[in-house]
Amino acid sequence: MTVAQAAGKVILFGEHAVVYGRPAIAVPVTEVHAQAQVEPGQVGQGVVLLAPDLGRKVVVRDAAQEDPLANIVRRTLDTLGREPDPDVTVTVTSTIPIARGMGSGAAVSTAVVRGLTGYFGRWLSSRSISELVYETEILYHGTPSGIDNTVVAFEKPVYFVKGQGWEVFWVGKPLLLAIADTGIESPTKEVVGDLRQRYEADPDRYLPLFDGVTEIVHSARKAIESGDMDRLGELMDANHTLLQEMGVSCPELDRLVVAARDGGALGAKLSGAGRGGNMIALVTEESRGRVDMMLRLAGATQVLITEVR
């Protein structure tokens, strides 16, 4: 039996604009993870994938081509040069909230790739895993930026530009983030698609917003590398304002942003697709408790504090 895991993630800066070739910054969230357990199956069963959290049992040989779970299994076995339907059982579990902008789909796929690779005694680079997972991300999100599979596969802070590449970079001072869940599912594919329609109908309105995000991301990387937390908080606030102007926030997210700032956060913004999902706030050891309390009073269904190094 082989067990493999993959962490969640949040986007710190650049969501939505990254789909249009602008940079973004994302970081892993190691407090939550997906896990894949791979073990021998019954003779003749082929690959069976169990997802008890979702109430699903996928017999890969019978699954549709567009089924993401079956897709990542098929692609991985093909990459490993294995027979297409070995008798194995893959059990997938996850503590990452679904449809909250935390990379649950990418983490599950990454865990499956790592699990199968280890079970068959092989090794794949983080880059190869990321590329495999990206193809499955298309099934989840339609036109993914590629940032989820990259940061989840490498488990490091990543500066990413779609179509141009990515860089792992280092933080000058650990970041303490409060991640607050609105309790509302955020359908990435739908939100991204809606913004694309609005952008195509009125590019002159949205291009300046994307350009503004680009400037924020560049400044944010400098602030992270130098450990300038005050400046980083200001940039989070500015990024949220632009996301509001793009029409991807919602009253629940905005309420949590205000609550975090009232609690003493250095800055706060939505993270991910928006219209639900999570809000992130930059906190300190001194403010983390009060921010946590304020977020819960403002309606957060869950608050997670994570440190990024």
154-163 as b/e, with b when 16 or more CB fall inside 10 Å? Answer: bbbbbbbbbe
Q: Is 164 exposed, middle or buried (0-12, 13-18, 19+ CB in 10 A)?
A: exposed
Give the C-alpha separation, 195 to 209, whole Å: 12
Give the C-alpha separation, 26 to 209, whole Å: 19
In whole angstroms, how far apart are CA 150 and each of 97, 123, 291, 309?
19, 17, 30, 17
Give the C-alpha separation, 78 to 83, whole Å: 8
Give the C-alpha separation, 127 to 282, whole Å: 29
* Contact between 277 and 179 (Cβ < 8 Å): no
Known active-site residue 254: no
Report helix, strand or coil for 244.
helix
User: Which residue is catalytic, options 148, 230, 254, 262?
Assistant: 148
Structure-token match 């005694």, residue found:
121
Report helix, strand or coil for 44.
coil
* Catalytically active residues, by annotation: 148
